[in-house]
Amino acid sequence: MDIDGYWALLEGARAHTEDLDERAEWLVEQLARRTPAEIIEFELRHAEVRKAADTWPMWGAAMLLNDGWCSDDVFWYFQAWVIGLGRQVYERATADPETLLDAPEVRRLASGGDDAEPPEWEILDYTANYAYERVTGEEHGLWRALDEHGINLPTSPAPADDGIEGGQAEHARHLPRLCAAFPLAAPA
């Protein structure tokens, strides 16, 4: 599966429903119609795509969208959520996190509506494994298959040092539009 195939599946899930759990189940169903090798390729593309969001500026954005707090896990699941916003939004946001404000989901969060879901999509990280298990009958078989091929994918964020001291809070300060949209979460 190439990168376009990966994004086609994500966009198909997005078109299918707004509910993130239903999207994940749809992805599992679609992947379970493929070979184990194709499911592995989906997982590899997922890690490849995610890498662009594993930056300190994105962590700063995640902190703002999460009421001023963002652990490793929260940031990891935030990355998956941004992927779920679609290819165009994702590619723009990884180049400039301030463009997240163009996404309706982020505007909904900024408005503080009671129906706004937290900006995370943890289950996306397990869809390939669930599909692999359906196809092969092997519990956690995807991880064993990757290990057998010497593939060790990241399981938590590890942004590269970009020269700005202070981590996520300092990076959030460099996102004035997001700070304005999420004033209660803006760093002091």
Span 127-141, pLDDT tens digits: 999 999 999 999 999
Quickly state the pLDDT bin for 115 (edges 50, 70, 90). Answer: low
Q: How far is CA 33 from CA 13, 27, 58, 131, in A?
A: 15, 10, 34, 8
Report d(CA 145, CA 40) in Å as an integer: 8
Mean pLDDT of 115-144: 94
- Name which of 16-25, 76-85, 133-142, 154-163 the model is least confident about: 154-163
Share the mean pLDDT of the chain. Answer: 92
pLDDT > 60? residue 188: no
- Enter the pTM of the model: 0.93
